[in-house]
């Protein structure tokens, strides 16, 4: 009798009893989880259990012993291993039906905008203000809705953002938050040596935040339109306190001076990868040989010592480097200066270098500008979920 029951019911049988439930929609969904820490662990676990068909996990960090009190997917034997890789392995164990991919990298530098454009939803489970700002801008430009989750000792917070006219995460940045971010960077644009502040958290609040995040994901994917969605509206935030018990929902006001609202509409999708094309190639493809290619970030091209005059080539995003870069091994002083560019034209020495060597990630979207007109090209890359060719 028990064997017969197994044949009649599938893994999602209890889901299908829910009125309006669409398991096939979830199976087709593509969701990115940014951050595989305490909240990310719980979100990934729930997404896998509920049959979200495609999950991309992005995290640059490794597992530490303190993660074990708040991260259900990690074990003692995982110390030192990448969080994204381990979380993906455990998600596949939870549900082999789900296609799970992992990127061990920094979403600010290692994730092309085309990846965001391919997602139905992005769930932010981050503990870094800089990462949240980068995620917010990428999702706005890609036109992809995203959820932001955060926790303190007894409080969880979840907000939903879209690409419309409403407020974004950056709209709600307080002067104190901007000041805190400014302390992370020197006047040269390099990261300072200030350590990241460690926030006290518990598995309880991580679970609370994750439950609301995944419930919002379910509501968004099941809604026929934003107006039909249950739960949070776009540009709305809910806070949940457990000491004392309390919840509150707030509409977030749009900041008319916010610089993050820059959606990209027309994009030409190419089959070439950053390893296969140069700046000259892109200008030729766009029919604008005298235009410029906008990188979308400040790229260090050279380090020049203002004391001894020593110069050396150096290719890396400015925001990815810290003040140790200023130390000159020739004169033993903190006197080096990073030379940077944010765009390249056909006359630049780097215009013939493959874009991958200029720190352009796969699936990147680059702007090509001439005489005030801008065209966008999306480059290709390896499939996110190789097992499905997606």
The secondary element (H helix, E strand) that includes residue 137 is helix 129-142
Please say whether the beta carbons of 81 and 104 come within 8 A: no
Quickly count: other Cβ atoms within 10 Å of residue 76's Cβ: 8
List of the chain residues with pLDDT < 50: 1-2, 4-7
Q: Which fold has domain 2-251?
A: Rossmann fold (3.40.50)
pTM: 0.93
Phi, psi of 324 (to 5 degrees): -60, -20
**Which residues are bridge partners to 121 per DSSP?**
31
Rounded CA-CA distance 26/121 in Å is 12
**pLDDT value at position 141?**
94
Q: What's the pLDDT tens digit per position in 253-262?
A: 999 999 898 7
Rounded CA-CA distance 74/140 in Å is 32
Which of 229, 214, 234 is closest to 161 using CA atoms?
234
Rounded CA-CA distance 368/278 in Å is 13
Domain positions in the chain: 2-251, 267-388
Rounded CA-CA distance 73/42 in Å is 8
**pLDDT value at position 225?**
84
Helical pair 38-50 and 203-222, crossing angle rounded to 10 deg: 40
């Amino acid at each position: 009798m028990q064997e017969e029951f197994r044949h009649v019911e599938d893994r999602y049988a209890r889901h299908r009893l829910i009125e309006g439930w669409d398991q096939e929609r979830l199976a087709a969904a593509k969701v990115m989880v940014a951050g595989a820490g305490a909240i990310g662990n719980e979100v990934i676990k729930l997404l896998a259990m509920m049959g979200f068909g495609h999950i991309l996990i992005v995290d640059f960090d490794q597992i530490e012993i303190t993660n074990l009190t708040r991260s259900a997917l990690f074990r003692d034997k995982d110390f030192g291993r990448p969080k994204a890789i381990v979380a993906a392995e455990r998600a596949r164990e939870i549900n082999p039906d789900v296609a799970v991919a992992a990127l061990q990298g920094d979403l600010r530098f290692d994730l092309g905008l085309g990846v965001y454009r391919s997602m139905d939803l992005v769930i932010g489970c981050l503990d870094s203000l800089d990462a949240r700002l980068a995620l917010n801008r990428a999702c706005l430009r890609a036109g992809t809705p995203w959820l932001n989750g955060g926790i303190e000792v007894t409080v969880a917070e979840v907000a939903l953002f879209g690409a419309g006219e409403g407020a974004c995460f950056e709209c709600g940045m307080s002067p104190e938050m901007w000041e805190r971010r400014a302390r992370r960077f020197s006047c040269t644009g390099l990261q300072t040596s200030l350590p990241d502040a460690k926030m006290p958290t518990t598995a309880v609040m991580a679970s609370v935040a994750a439950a609301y995040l995944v419930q919002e994901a379910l509501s968004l994917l099941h809604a026929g339109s934003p107006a039909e969605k249950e739960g949070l509206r776009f540009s709305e935030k809910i806070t949940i306190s457990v000491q004392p018990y309390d919840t509150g929902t707030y509409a977030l006001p749009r900041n008319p001076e916010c610089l993050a609202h820059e959606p990209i509409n027309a994009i030409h999708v190419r089959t070439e990868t950053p390893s296969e094309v140069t700046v000259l190639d892109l200008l030729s493809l766009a029919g604008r040989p005298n235009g410029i290619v906008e990188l979308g970030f400040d790229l260090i091209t050279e380090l020049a010592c203002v004391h001894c005059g020593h110069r050396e080539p150096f290719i890396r995003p400015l925001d990815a480097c810290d003040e140790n870069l200023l130390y000159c091994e020739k004169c033993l002083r903190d006197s080096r200066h990073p030379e940077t560019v944010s765009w390249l034209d056909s006359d630049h020495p780097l215009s013939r270098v493959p874009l991958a060597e200029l720190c352009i990630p796969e699936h990147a979207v680059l702007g090509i500008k001439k005489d005030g007109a801008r065209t966008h090209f999306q480059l290709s890359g390896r499939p996110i979920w190789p097992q499905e060719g997606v």
